[in-house]
Chains A and B, each alone.
Chain A
C-alpha cells in the first residue's frame, strides 16, 4: 500500500498541487480566523469588563440539547443578518464610488497575505531539476514595500467611502481617519527601516531567515518594534487611535451611511487588516516561523547548541509535531477545565435551564478534554514513529521527502498563526484598556514623537550597524 501511495500521481505531483492549492488555502484559513477574532473581541471585552458576554444564541441539537458555542453563533447570525439586509443606497450618494468603496479595504486586505512568509522556502528536486517553493504566495524580493503599498491603498476605502456617502458626518469622520492613517504611515515606514537596514533586504522571507540565523527583531530593534506597533494600531484604526469610527463622538465615522453587506465588508476589512498587522509584527519582529530567539541544547550534556530553525524542524519532525500537539492538547484540556469551572458553578445555581446547560457543558468538556488527550496521544505517536532522513543536498540545503517538507511547512504555518493570534489578542486587550486619544494628541504623537524617535532610532541603528560591520 505504501508503495502504491508513493508512486501515485498525486504523490509525484505533490509540489505542483501544493503550489496551486496554497493561494486558495491560506486566505481560506485566514477567513476562518475572522469570526474567531470577532468572538475573541466580544468575549475579551466582556471578560475585561467583568461581564458574561454574548452567550444566548444557540443551535438546537437532538441529543445534547443545544450548542451555544461560546458565542460563535452570534457571529454566524450577524453574517446572515448582514447578507439579508436591504442593500440600501442613499439617494444623495455618488453611486459608483459608494459601491466601490467597501470593496477596497477587503480587496487590499485579502491580497496582503500573499506576501507574508507562512513557512520556510522548500527546496526540492524533481525530474525537471532543482526548485524552490517559496513560503510566500508571491515570491517577491521587495515584499515589504508591496505590503506597505497595499496598506496605503486601504486609506482609499476610507476616503472614497466618506466622500461618496455625500454626508457631512461621513466626510468629517473620513477626513480625520485618512489624515491619521497617512500621518502614521510615515512613522511606520521609518520605524521598520532600522530592521531592514540590519537585514539588508526588503523580502520578508529574508527578514525571517535573518532572524532564524541570528536572533529575533524585538531583541535587536526594541524601539523600532514599539514604534511599529504603535503605528500599526493607528493604521488598523484600533483603539487608542480609533478616530476613524469614533463611536462616542462622530456617529460611525466614514461608514455612517453604509449598511448591510457593505458595512460588513468594511468591518471584515478592518479585522483582516488587524490580522495582517499582527502577522507583520510577528514576522518582522518576532521571528515569523522561527520557534525560539536563542539556541537550545540538542543533548542533555549541554555540549551542542542549535537554533530551532527549518532544518532542525525537518530533522526532528516527530519531536516538533509532538511539541506542537502537546501544547495544543494541554491548552484544550485547560480549556475543558475552565468549562468545568463554569459547569460546577452553574450546577449550584437555581436556574430553569440548569439541566440543559449542564448537559451542554458536559459535551464541551468531553469534546475538549477528549480532543486534548487525543492531541497528546497523537503527539506521542509522532515522537515515537516519525523519524526523518535527508535524501541528499543542493549546496547547503538538505533535501527531504515531500511529506516531511509538507508537515514541516504545516508546523511553521501553525507557529506563525499562533504568534499572529497572540498579537490579535494584544490588539483586543489594548482596545478595551485604553481610552481614545484626542485628535490633536494623535497628531502630536504621530509627528512630534513617533517620527522623531523613529529617525533617531534609524540613525543609531545605521551607526551601530556600520561600526559592527
Chain B
C-alpha cells in the first residue's frame, strides 16, 4: 500500500516569505557572530599542524612488542604473514640464541603501500608480538622504499606514549613495569 506523504502546509506568514527570510538571516547571523567572537566555536582541526586525536584501537601503523630485555616478542612463526590478505609481511627467520625460544626474526618487513590495515596479523599473532595501536595514521614519504618498515622501525617506540593499563607495553625497556619484569625475565618466571 502506497504511503501518502502530505505536502507541508505553509502558514500565511510562511507563504509571504518575508518573515521567514528574516528568521533565516537571524540564524546565520547567530552562527557568524559565534564564529567571529568565539574561537572555540569551530570544530575544525588545523590538520597538518594539529594531530588528529585517534582512538587507541584505531588500526594504524604496526609496531613490534618487546620483551623486557629489548628483543622482539616475535618468534617468526609466520602466522601473521599467512593471515595477511595483502601479503605485505615479509619475514626471514633465524635461530634464536635463547634455548627456550626456537626462532627469531632476522628480517621483519611490512610494505605499508600493500597493507590494507585489516588487523588480521594482530589477531593471528599467538605471542601478542605485533600491534597496530601506534595511532600513526598519516604516512607520508617521497619514495616507495620508505614505506617498507623494517624490524628496527617497528620496534622504535616509547612506552611513555602508551597508557599504564597497557602492561605489555610498560614491561618493555623504559616502561613503568620494566624493572620488575626484567627481574622476572632473568629468573625465568616471566610470561
The reply to whether the CB of B183 lies closer than 8 angstroms to some CB of chain A is no
Q: Which residue of A lies closest to B46 (CB)?
A: A351
Q: Which of A157-165, A340-348, A363-371 is found at the contact surface with chain B?
A: A340-348
Spot the interface stretch: A49-57, A71-79, A247-255, A304-312: A49-57
Indicate if B11 sits at the interface (CB-CB under 8 A).
Answer: no
Contact B25 A350 (CB under 8 A): no
Q: Does A338 contact B (CB under 8 A)?
A: yes
- A47 in contact with B39 (CB, 8 Å): no
Q: Does residue B139 face the partner (Cβ distance < 8 Å to A)?
A: no
- Asked if A345 contacts B39 (CB within 8 A), the reply is yes
- Chain B residue contacts of A52, Cβ below 8 A: 42, 44, 46
User: Which chain B residue shows the least CB distance to A432?
Assistant: B28
A44-B32, A341-B38 known; A50 vs B25 contact (CB < 8 Å): no
Complex CA–CA separation, A352 to B40 (angstroms): 18
Give the contacting residue for B28; candidates A341, A342, A352, A429; CB below 8 A: A429
* Residues in A320-346 with C-beta less than 8 Å from chain B: 338, 341-342, 344-346
Closest CB-CB distance, B86 to chain A, in whole Å?
32
A255–B27 Cα distance when bound, in Å, is: 32
Q: Nearest chain-A residue to B17 (Cβ)?
A: A445
Interface assignment of B82: CB less than 8 Å from any CB of chain A: no
Chain B: which residue is nearest A425 at the CB level?
A: B32
Contact status of A49 and B31, CB under 8 A, knowing A352-B49, A353-B49, A434-B21: yes
Q: Which residues of B lie under 8 Å from residue A46 when comparing CB positions? A: 35
Q: Is there contact, CB below 8 Å, between A47 and B32?
A: yes
A181 to chain B, nearest CB (A): 21
State whether the Cβ of B58 lies closer than 8 Å to any Cβ in chain A.
no
B40 neighbours in A (Cβ, 8 Å): 345
The closest CB in chain B to the CB of A55 belongs to: B46
Who on chain A is nearest to B24 by CB? A433
CB of A50 within 8 A of CB of B37, answer: no
Given the known interface contacts A52-B42, A345-B40, the answer about A434 and B49 at a Cβ–Cβ threshold of 8 Å is no
Asked whether A48 is an interface residue with its Cβ less than 8 Å from the other chain, the reply is yes
Assembled-state Cα–Cα distance A354/B46 (Å): 11
B38 cross-chain contacts in A, Cβ below 8 A = 341
Chain A residues lying within 8 Å of B27, measured Cβ to Cβ, are 433
B9 within 8 A of A: no
How far apart are B35's CB and chain A's nearest CB, in angstroms?
Answer: 4
B141-181 residues at the A interface, CB under 8 angstroms: none
A430-B26 Cα distance, complex, nearest whole Å: 11
A430 B25 Cβ-Cβ under 8 A: yes
CB pair B35 A47 closer than 8 Å: yes
Q: Closest CB-CB distance, B15 to chain A, in whole Å?
A: 12
Cα A46 to Cα B34 in complex, Å, equals 12
**A341 touching B39 by the CB < 8 A rule?**
yes
Contact with A along B35-73 (1 / 0, CB 8 A): 111111111101011110000000000000000000000
Across the interface, which residues of A come within 8 angstroms of B48, CB to CB?
352
Please name 15 pairs of A and B residues whose Cβ atoms are closer than 8 Å in the assembled complex, sorted by A.
A47-B31, A47-B32, A48-B31, A48-B35, A50-B35, A51-B35, A52-B46, A341-B39, A351-B49, A352-B48, A353-B46, A429-B25, A433-B24, A433-B25, A433-B28
Report the 5 A-B pairs with minimum CB-CB distance, sorted nearest first: A345-B39, A47-B35, A351-B49, A351-B50, A433-B28
